[in-house]
Chain A
């Protein structure tokens, strides 16, 4: 069945460091891919999404490119800030599965000044 495998955490970076959080997926159809973020004490919120191969989602300096050939959707940011400290979840949704969502286990990021 459809699934998402996400890089294990926790990740600790210094401010202004480069961030990559890996995400790969397994899907029978053509899913949409998402990154959700959960800031401390808050609910999950959508960070970015991509709906077809080679699409690039971007928001708040974060980017992720939908790579069908490698079944990946890695999250990147060139220069992280302390305020980026949060838990990041990769997810997919496919009409083949009735729009059910599959989430990764989450990657905790801590950015230190």
Chain B
């Protein structure tokens, strides 16, 4: 399809394990965002990629969290040594970038992470 694709849709892991979450943005979109949505909470910004610029990592909650975006397309969010408080829905969104469409984000369905 033409939308933002995230995988896996659900991930159950044991405390202390590492997990990788993948995001395939809409082709041609230069901006990519990761958010975390905890139960009953709003969206918590994690990291933002724009083109070839250095990413804005100001929202990452700890050094256990990292993200990469390869070739300006696919992105992977990695959580090392997972903790129970990491359990949440992780959302990826992409945006066309500057211009009239600036600011419109297209969201994936999310990855629901459960840390046991």
Chain A residues close to B by CB (< 8 Å): 6, 32, 34, 36, 42-46, 49, 51, 89, 93, 95, 98-106
Contact = CB atoms under 8 A, between A and B. Distances in A.
Contact of A102 (B45, B95, B107): B45
Nearest to A102: B45
Interface of B: 31, 33, 35, 41-43, 45, 48, 50, 56, 91, 93, 95, 97-98, 102-110
Contact of A99 (B35, B41, B102, B109): B102
A92 to B, nearest CB: 9
Nearest to A32: B103
Given A98-B56, A101-B33, A32 B45 contact: no
A89 B110 CA distance: 16
Contacts of A104: 42
A44 B91 contact: yes
Contacts of B98: 99
B8 to A, nearest CB: 15
A98 B45 contact: no
Given A43-B109, A106-B43, 18 more contacts: A6-B42, A32-B103, A34-B104, A43-B91, A43-B108, A44-B93, A46-B105, A49-B103, A89-B42, A95-B102, A99-B31, A99-B50, A99-B98, A99-B102, A100-B48, A102-B45, A105-B42, A106-B42
